[in-house]
Amino acid sequence: TYAFFPLFCHFAACELMTQGILALVTSTGCASASALQSLTDAMHIPHLYIQRNAEGSPRTACQLNPSPDGERYTLAARPPVRLSDVMLTLVGELHWQKFIIFYDSDYDIRGLQVFLDQTSRQGLDVSLQRVDRNISGVFSSLFTSMRTEELNHYRDTLRRAILLLSPRGAQVFIHQVCWLMGDTEIMELAHSSLGRMTVVRQIFPLWKDSSVSCMRNNHRISSLLCNPQEGYLHSLEVSNLYLYDSVLMLANAFYRKLEDRKWHSMASLNCIRKSTKPWNGGWSMLETIQKGHITGLTGIMDFMDNGSNSHVQFEILGTSFSETFGKDIKRLATWDSVHGLNGSLKESRIENGMQGITVKVVTLLEDPFVMVAENILGQPKRYKGFSIDVLDALAKILGFKYDIYQVADSKYGSQLPNGSWNGMIGELINKRADLAVSAITITPERENIVDFSKRYMDYSVGILHRKPEEKINIFSLFAPFDLAVWACIAAAIPVVGVLIFLLTRMQMLRSQNPPGAHHNSSMSNSLHSAIWIVYGAFVQQGGDSVVGSVALRIVMGSWWLFTLIVCSSYTANLAAFLTVSRMDNTIRTFQDLARQMDYAYGTVRDSAVYDYFRAKGTNPLEQDSTYTELWRTISKNNGQDYSVSSPSEGIRKAKKGPYAFLWDMAVVEYAALTDDDCTITVAGNSMSSKGYGIAMQHGSPYRDLISQKILELQEKGDLDVLKQKWWPRTGRCDLNSHSNAQPDGRSLKLHSFAGVFCILAAGLLLACLVAALEMWWNSNRCRQEQPKEDKEVNLEQVHRRLNSLMDEDMAHKQIPAPSIEISALDISSMPLSQQREAVRDYPGTGLSVSTFLPEQAHGVGRTLAQGPGSTLPLPHSSSTMPSIHCKHRAPNGGLFRQSPAKTPMPMSYQSVPGGPIPEAIEHSTSI
């Protein structure tokens, strides 16, 4: 305990010198050794110094200051620190480019200066991390301060570490570690470590001959020290072994001094008195010790001119994978200061490949990566799938065999609150399996404790959900306009119609002016008509309807322009609406999933996807709030509400209802391709920074071989062939049928255009109904208005008038060709205004009025002269006017009595050249 206090060591040495000593043997720290060096140099006392560090931490170089007068009485019995040379050799043999050195708080970092200088010249990336007493807190702060991306970047550095720690501190990395370990302790260490472990320890080769093994320079050594099989030697510290050999070296020197009869008596020295003289026999004793040569517990001990012991030998031990899937320790090489490295750090078995090796593989069922094949009763279970095909291809190339079994808890592997791991990762950590093959993803958390091969397939997260059912809306054609727009259009139609009706009535009233009132504006009307035709063609209405009123033209023009804009806008919006409807897909990205409210979503609890969303959603540096919203829903009630316990449960849940399952894209895509009903589809989000790999124990020698062969399979295209086998481009279901517009998808379907036919059918039915109502209404009106007609038309007077006209001798007059015969009943049934219009429109036309009586037709005609060159448009295409035959009753209610003597014949009046007949007006009949 007091060996590390220089003042105490100084007082203890002075007390010994007062008793008289020949030499001083010490085992202290570097600071105490410097103080003792000054004392022994001053008193000329030979000093054999054995360096030691506190709490067994690794030694650092201890540079002792030379004596001012050049006489140095201190000899270093323990060889100088050659650990830097050994580490540099190991780093070169293992081809480390990045590694980290963990050193104890008691370790003097200056001892690594030479090592750091050499690694810097070689271009190696070396990181240093000091470990305090609270080593757990150091690692907690180290890993929590680094983001996942940084841990992923430095994972190669963290996987390779050099520990310059005390045994207590090194237990955080590996269990039951000592700087001096026996074979049993090394075996326990190998089984408790997490991967490939290289142990560097100093060795002291003993004589193999048992007869002389306990004899050192004619001195018998205790069997507890010389026989390593008894285990007593392994419990001693290295400094104690050098202490024993130093005493043996002094005994040998004293013996030779006695033989040479050059003995100098011991002198009592006082360190306090200034008058004390140094021992005069000190230099002679120092030369005798320095020329000595012994073989002790630590091997050969002799001293060089600089006072150091150069004989040191190290043993490099490494883990080896046995056929029983366990680990053992074997010597890989040795190192000494003369020959350097003797041996190779590579395992001979790995140099020969994996030919003939049987490895144990743990797997988990995940379609289509690993599935159960058809098994035969009594034989081991067989598997198939994409990962199994990759494993078979590797086994065929490398020549190994494998035994496969399923993991008990059906989990890939995640860290539990107590620090342990479950699933396939736990099987690898507990050394129950060599390889883990399934849809296992490479993550930084997993790669910190196990090794992964190169990825054999890229990884991304897919969104599995039920295909959105197409909503059939036969009135989807009304969707381009809002309800308020349709209401305004519907209100504009009657308003414009009423205005046009009023303006038309006003025009009809103005048209009752004398015929010659508008003759002067004929040119203006023609110009307006031409402009009107041009405008009608512009608004796609044509120029057939020539409207005379300017106000009516303004109304009609505004309405036509309004309808043109409305129809054009409707057409454009309808095309855009139908296009968007075809391209619409409810969920395409994570952002769409977070914004929508129709689908619940989740993933498998305690999985890599679950951990991914937790890391992204709880990261305060994450700028995208999408992952925060996704994680809030996924982790609701600790994942019990929406997340599931297995991928198969999530796929079944997505098939049944509005649920989106977040899982590996390869798995959900296979489920969608092989779905019986083809009712589910996949939307994806790329996360190509990850991939699927083969997991193995940390430090596994199979990693490089398997990774190399995977790269060869990728270059040859064999992996693409296997992917096409399990994910065919043309599967049972088409995943793009709901999103990609196919050539036949550009045409409108019947259900989208059915609203137009419904409107047409409704219009036709309404027209038929209105026509039936009109027929019923007209038939009833004819019956109701017939008595009124009898009162208005005095047929008896008409009959007498016709008889009187027939008496006149008018037979010589001919009816001109352009004459119109109008039935009296036809004229009587016309409104008064139309009767006037009919007469006014044809002022120069011969008018024939006929009266038809029941049972027989009696007609008489009165012809008015027609102006020359005028033509009359006939109201009907037929040359014969239709007649209305009604039974006329007398005012007393009886039928008219017909005169049998006179048969009324139609008479014609021919215009007299030179002017009209004066009697034409008197004999005319006006009804």
Q: What angle do CA 390, 391, 392 make, to 5 degrees?
A: 90
Q: Would you call 319 exposed, middle or buried from its count of C-beta atoms within 10 A (0-12, 13-18, 19+)?
A: buried
Torsion over CA of 723, 724, 729 and 732, rounded to 10 degrees? -100
Strands (E), 288-400: 294-296, 299-301, 313-321, 327-336, 340-343, 358-363, 371-372, 383-384
Q: Would you call 869 exposed, middle or buried from its count of C-beta atoms within 10 A (0-12, 13-18, 19+)?
A: exposed
CB 454 within 8 A of CB 694: no
328: left (phi over 0), alpha (psi -120 to 50) or beta: beta
At 126, is the secondary structure helix, strand, or coil? strand
* Best CA proximity match to 682, nearest among 725, 643, 644, 651: 651
Angstrom distance (rounded) from CA 556 to CA 504: 11
458 is an annotated ligand-binding site residue: no
441 is an annotated ligand-binding site residue: yes
Angstrom distance (rounded) from CA 701 to CA 739: 48
Beta bridge pairs of residue 689? none
- Position 748: which residue type? L
Instruction: Write the DSSP symbol of residue 528.
Output: H
CB 428 within 8 A of CB 690: no
Angstrom distance (rounded) from CA 595 to CA 633: 12
* Best CA proximity match to 606, nearest among 636, 581, 638, 584: 638
Angstrom distance (rounded) from CA 163 to CA 101: 6
* Residue found by looking up tokens 């119109």 in the block: 820
Beta bridge pairs of residue 465? 681
446 is an annotated ligand-binding site residue: yes
Structure tokens at 656: 């049944």
* Best CA proximity match to 667, nearest among 406, 466, 371: 371
3-state secondary structure 588-653: CCHHHHHHCCCCEEECECCCHHHHHHHHHHCCCCCCCCHHHHHHHHHCCCCCCCCCECCHHHHHHH
Determine how β-strand 371-372 pairs with β-strand 383-384: antiparallel
The annotation places the binding site at 441, 446, 664
Which residues make up each annotated binding site for L-glutamate?
441, 446, 664
